[in-house]
Structure 1
Amino acid sequence: MTVRTCAAIAAVLVSAGCAASTTEEKPLAPVNAKAASMQAGFTSMDRLAEAAKKEGELNVIALPRDWVNYGEIIDTFADKYDIKVNQLEPGASSRRQMEAAAQLKPDVFDLSLEVAVANAPRFAPYKVQGWHDLPDHVKDRNGAWYAGYGGYMSLGYDSAKVKAPASFADLLKPGYTVALPGDPRQTAAAFSGIMAASLQNGVPQVQRGVELFTKLKKEGKLAEPPAANVVVDWDHLNAERAAEPGTSWKVTIPKDSPLGAYYVQAINKDAPHPAAARLWQEFVFSDEGQNLYLKGYARPARGEAMLMKGTLDTETAARLPAPPGPPVLLTIPQTDTAKTYVNKHWAG
């Protein structure tokens, strides 16, 4: 037996209580509830959870319970950590969240990319443990905001009445009655539908999208969603509808229009419950939280990394419509230019 082996066995015996250790443990650093990472502020998830539980509450805003499975996400978080979740204005838009922040005092935000970028100084930088799994182009390098989940613009259709449209141009063919989920000047999903239709070789051309829907309207093919046999909307919403028992509803993502978007998460710099806010972020970006988004038919931002690590719920992922390829993500300048055009030329 070597000296090294003897030393190793002795160490095991000491740790088992056969001898007394003379090494003193260093005291843990005080909790910093406003730190920029779990390690820097709490040193462990247990200490973060303990600090959040002492705060006792979490204020969330603009999280409808039927949107990307937020009902189950909120309830699971509340039960797991024994924290009361106050659900403020579930139907608020991204802009409304920022307008109401001073009055309602949310701890965390769920925002469109352009609103998050414009309001970055109002967020507390924080990098979750899965930070390196997030694509660089959908996170602020300083940790002010970071994508939580996303999806593709899609065509949901009644397969009992029409064939699957292969492209947005197909919607001009006989038999299709089409709906947008709102006014594109006011509703983000409707605007994204216009932009998906505008894509040509992966490049957005807003005039092209507006012209298509103008033609549909002139031909009497544009209707409200209940009367339409095709609905242009995010794939997680069309996929959820397609999963209902006994339905003939199906969903497709046109190969020539792979428009995608992410919703990003951020912590309010003035969060009344800063530890709970950070615990919430750790939860929704954990494997458990990301798979709960997936259960709501959203595409988790850490999905690719989780697939490689074997932690993605592949059975649930298989229920999502197959993407035609990497998503085309609009830049902020492209979005701003397109919104100006739509506001000027859309005939509501």
Structure 2
Amino acid sequence: MTVRTCAAAVAILASAGCGASSTEEAAPQGPPVNVRAASMKEGFTSMERLAQAAKQEGALHVIALPRDWVNYGEIIDTFADKYGIEVKELEPQANSKRSLDAAAQLKPDVFDLTLDVAVANASRFAPYKVQGWLDLPDHVKDPRGAWYAAYGGYMSLGYDPRAVPAPASFADLLKPGYKVALDGDPLRSAAAFDGVMAASLQGGMPQPKRAVDLFGKLKQAGQLTDPAHANVIVNWDHLNAARSAQDSASWKVTIPRGAELGAYHVQAINKDAPHPAAARLWQEFLFSDEGQNLFQKGYARPARGEAMVMKGSLDTEQAAKLPVAPGPPVLLTIPQTDAAKTYLGKEWARSVG
């Protein structure tokens, strides 16, 4: 997802060494470490001191991170190996709301959330600005650092080219032969809701009635089904692209012109994180060039992508494998999202079921 950003360089104060006796190892010197600081520079003065503080905590608790979602399996393993920190994976299949509902009991250190959930719960997060803060687009980060976009994607149509031609639009799905599935119930699943919203776009504006009418017609024609029986699945492009990478002969992905719905997932630190230094190190890793390229390896679009292109640190070979978007992303506002959810709550069951 292309974003307008400006590159930034963040000065890192190197920790100074001090003398040590012949029987003691030299320890890095500097201001006292503040594991709940709002930036690496403010709390640790260097990445080395941050990593040391995190390793002393010994663990990181993450929640709602399926290992096959945007390459999180490799991301988690790379972080654990790089810093010698055990990562405990809590409820990988939980959604954003469940992550927060379970926080008091499960005590995760960090969250990966949809934008609307993060905005509504900003008071529950510990502000922290990563070193690449200025590379992130202003409209998808909290000014205080409570939450900030890590990666994004476009809603897409994955399809079986052996069964149907490439759909050029959502309207094409009404043609004979298409068996269409959403990724769940749009009243409960964020991916299914966003799939409906992509179908609703007209002139860049969401029109929920338009989408409900479309899916109602698919239902009446017997063409709306579950993913196991579908030859078209409406889902995020990184999921459809990952499936296509496994077998391009049986699965391809397209982003229809005029339906370029995009969205970001954002990161946040639990205000009550049991491992606050590890939580901050995790964020620095995710937003580093290495972490952003690992997201892209999972077919997501790095939030720092444009700045990385400018300095030559983006994996351009992998970038070329991402599905081609016919236009810039349409990002729903919170009021638009709320209005659409209200409309679907009243009309979906009656018109689609």
Answer yes or no: same fold by TM over 0.5. Answer: yes
Aligned to 1:10: none
Q: How does 1:83-162 map to 2 (within 5 A)?
A: 83-162=85-164
How many residues are paired up? 323
Aligned to 2:177: 175
Q: For 1:195 and 1:246, how far apart are their aligned partners in 2?
A: 27
Aligned-CA RMSD value: 1.1
Aligned to 2:285: 283
Aligned to 2:300: 298
Unaligned 5+ runs, structure 1: 1-25
Aligned to 2:19: none
- Give the C-alpha shift of residue 343 in structure 1: 1.3
1:151 alignment partner, SS class:
strand
Structure 2 counterpart of 1:314, from 313, 316, 322: 316
Contact 2:151 2:303 in 1 (8 A): yes
Aligned to 2:261: 259
- Give the C-alpha shift of residue 340 in structure 1: 1.0
Q: Deviations over 1:216-260 (max 9, x none)?
A: 000111111121111100000000111114632110001110000
Q: For 1:233 and 1:313, how far apart are their aligned partners in 2?
A: 24
Matched AA of 2:311? K
Q: For 1:245 and 1:113, how far apart are their aligned partners in 2?
A: 32
Q: How does 1:18-97 map to 2 (within 5 A)?
A: 28-97=30-99
1:147 alignment partner, SS class:
strand
Aligned to 1:8: none
- Structure whose alpha-carbon radius of gyration is higher: 1
Aligned to 1:214: 216
Contact 2:65 2:72 in 1 (8 A): yes
Structure 1 runs, 4 residues or longer, greater than 3 Å off: none
Q: Deviations over 1:182-210 (max 9, x none)?
A: 11111111110100000000000111111
Q: Are residues 118 and 246 of structure 1, via their aligned partners in 2, closer, same or farther at CA, if it must alter by over 3 Å?
A: closer
Q: Are residues 51 and 27 of structure 1, via their aligned partners in 2, closer, same or farther at CA, if it must alter by over 3 Å?
A: closer
Contact 2:62 2:88 in 1 (8 A): yes
Structure 2 counterpart of 1:202, from 171, 187, 204: 204
- Give the C-alpha shift of residue 37 in structure 1: 0.4
Q: Are residues 245 and 176 of structure 1, via their aligned partners in 2, closer, same or farther at CA, if it must alter by over 3 Å?
A: closer
Matched AA of 1:219? A
Aligned to 2:226: 224
2:123 alignment partner, SS class:
helix
Q: For 2:65 and 2:324, how far apart are their aligned partners in 1?
A: 26
Q: What is the identity percentage for the equivalent residue pairs of Structure 1 and Structure 2?
A: 75
- Give the C-alpha shift of residue 306 in structure 1: 0.7
Q: Are residues 159 and 342 of structure 1, via their aligned partners in 2, closer, same or farther at CA, if it must alter by over 3 Å?
A: same
Matched AA of 1:192? D
Unaligned 5+ runs, structure 2: 1-27
Q: Taking structure 2 as the reference length, what is the TM-score of the superposition? A: 0.90
Q: Taking structure 1 as the reference length, what is the TM-score of the superposition? A: 0.91
